[in-house]
Structure 1
Amino acid sequence: MTNRLKPTLGTLHLWGIAVGLVISGEYFGWSYGWAVAGTLGFLVTTALIATLYTCFIFSFTELTTAIPHAGGPFAYSRRAFGETGGLIAGLATLIEFVFAPPAIAMAIGAYLNVQYPELNPKTAAVGAYLLFMTLNILGVKLAAMFELVVTVLAVIELLVFMGVVSPGFSLANFAAHGWAGSDSFGLPAFSGIFAAIPFAIWFFLAIEGAAMAAEEAKDPTRTIPRAYISGILTLVVLAIGVMLMAGGAGDWRKLADINDPLPQAMKMIVGEHSNWMHMLVWIGLFGLIASFHGIILGYSRQFFALARAGYLPPSLAKLSRFQTPHRAIILGGVLGIAAIYSDGVINLQGMTLTAAMITMAVFGAIVMYIMSMLSLFKLRRSAPEMVRSFRAPGYPIVPGIALLLSVVCLLAMLWFNPVIGALFVAIMLVGYLYFLATKAQRDRAPQDTMLAGE
Structure 2
Amino acid sequence: MSTSQLKPTLGTLHLWGIAVGLVISGEYFGWSYGWGTAGTLGFLVTALLVATMYTCFIFSFTELTTAIPHAGGPFAYSRRAFGEKGGLIAGIATLIEFVFAPPAIAMAIGAYLNVQYPELDPKHAAVGAYIIFMTLNILGVSIAAAFELVVTVLAVAELLVFMGVVAPGFSFSNFVVNGWAGSNEFSSTALSGIFAAIPFAIWFFLAIEGAAMAAEEAKDPKRTIPRAYIAGILTLVFLAIGVMIMAGGVGDWRELSNINDPLPQAMKAVVGNDSTWMHMLVWIGLFGLVASFHGIILGYSRQFFALARAGYLPRGLAKLSRFQTPHRAIIAGGVIGIAAIYSDGLVNLQGMSLTAAMITMSVFGAIVMYIISMLSLFKLRRTEPDLERTFRAPGYPVVPAVALVLAVVCLLAMAWFNTLIGFVFLGFMVAGYIYFQFTAHHRANAPADALLSRA
- Tell me the TM-score range normalised by the shorter chain: over 0.9
> Partner residue of 1:435?
436
> Partner residue of 2:388?
387
Contact 1:133 1:330 in 2 (8 A): yes
CA distances 1:124-158 after superposition (whole Å, capped 9, x unpaired): 00000000000000000000000000000000000
Letter in 2 for 1:407: V
Aligned mates of 1:14, 1:372 — CA distance in 2 = 20
Aligned mates of 1:243, 1:36 — CA distance in 2 = 15
Aligned mates of 2:188, 2:118 — CA distance in 1 = 40
Please state if 1:17 is matched with 2:18. yes
Alignment of 1:215-294 (within 5 A): 215-294=216-295
Contact 1:94 1:299 in 2 (8 A): yes
Contact 1:181 1:188 in 2 (8 A): no
Letter in 2 for 1:393: P
> Partner residue of 1:161?
162
Please state if 1:198 is matched with 2:199. yes
Aligned mates of 1:403, 1:81 — CA distance in 2 = 17
Aligned mates of 1:61, 1:189 — CA distance in 2 = 35
Letter in 2 for 1:140: V
3-state SS of the aligned residue for 2:422? Answer: helix
CA distances 1:90-146 after superposition (whole Å, capped 9, x unpaired): 000000000000000000000000000000000000000000000000000000000
Letter in 2 for 1:80: A
Letter in 1 for 2:11: G
What is the CA distance between 1:452 and its match in structure 2? 1.4
Letter in 2 for 1:355: A
Alignment of 1:97-136 (within 5 A): 97-136=98-137
Aligned mates of 1:353, 1:197 — CA distance in 2 = 17
Aligned Cα root-mean-square deviation (Å): 1.0
Aligned mates of 1:350, 1:2 — CA distance in 2 = 45
Aligned mates of 1:152, 1:267 — CA distance in 2 = 24
Aligned mates of 2:293, 2:142 — CA distance in 1 = 17
What is the CA distance between 1:3 and its match in structure 2? 1.1
> Partner residue of 1:316?
317
CA distances 1:336-386 after superposition (whole Å, capped 9, x unpaired): 000000000000000000000000000000000000000000000001110
Contact 1:214 1:224 in 2 (8 A): yes
Letter in 2 for 1:223: T
Contact 1:181 1:190 in 2 (8 A): no
Aligned mates of 1:377, 1:190 — CA distance in 2 = 32
Contact 1:181 1:192 in 2 (8 A): no
> Partner residue of 1:415?
416
> Partner residue of 1:71?
72
Contact 1:181 1:191 in 2 (8 A): no
Alignment of 1:332-347 (within 5 A): 332-347=333-348
Aligned mates of 1:385, 1:332 — CA distance in 2 = 37
Q: Which runs of 5+ in 1 are unaligned?
A: none
Aligned mates of 2:335, 2:197 — CA distance in 1 = 30
3-state SS of the aligned residue for 1:188? Answer: helix
CA distances 1:150-209 after superposition (whole Å, capped 9, x unpaired): 000000000000000011100000001000169xxx963211000000000000000000
Aligned mates of 1:344, 1:425 — CA distance in 2 = 23
What is the CA distance between 1:416 and its match in structure 2? 0.1
Aligned mates of 1:45, 1:190 — CA distance in 2 = 10
Letter in 1 for 2:177: A
Contact 1:179 1:189 in 2 (8 A): yes
> Partner residue of 1:295?
296
> Partner residue of 1:39?
40
3-state SS of the aligned residue for 2:391? Answer: coil
Letter in 1 for 2:403: A
Please state if 1:143 is matched with 2:144. yes
CA distances 1:201-258 after superposition (whole Å, capped 9, x unpaired): 0000000000000010000010000000000000000000000100001000000010
Letter in 1 for 2:400: P
CA distances 1:67-104 after superposition (whole Å, capped 9, x unpaired): 00000000000000000000000000000000000000
Letter in 1 for 2:306: A
Contact 2:3 2:319 in 1 (8 A): no
3-state SS of the aligned residue for 2:129? Answer: helix
Alignment of 1:367-382 (within 5 A): 367-382=368-383
Aligned mates of 2:374, 2:5 — CA distance in 1 = 26
Contact 1:110 1:260 in 2 (8 A): yes
Contact 2:21 2:149 in 1 (8 A): yes
Aligned mates of 1:452, 1:179 — CA distance in 2 = 49
Aligned mates of 1:151, 1:13 — CA distance in 2 = 10
TM-score by length of 2: 0.98
Off by >3 Å, runs of 4+ in structure 1: none
Letter in 2 for 1:372: S
> Partner residue of 2:355?
354
Letter in 1 for 2:200: F
TM-score by length of 1: 0.98
> Partner residue of 1:449?
450
3-state SS of the aligned residue for 1:345? Answer: coil
What is the CA distance between 1:453 and its match in structure 2? 2.3
3-state SS of the aligned residue for 2:190? Answer: coil
Aligned mates of 1:216, 1:399 — CA distance in 2 = 26
3-state SS of the aligned residue for 1:189? Answer: helix
Aligned mates of 2:101, 2:182 — CA distance in 1 = 26
Aligned mates of 2:189, 2:12 — CA distance in 1 = 46
> Partner residue of 1:59?
60
Aligned mates of 2:198, 2:113 — CA distance in 1 = 28
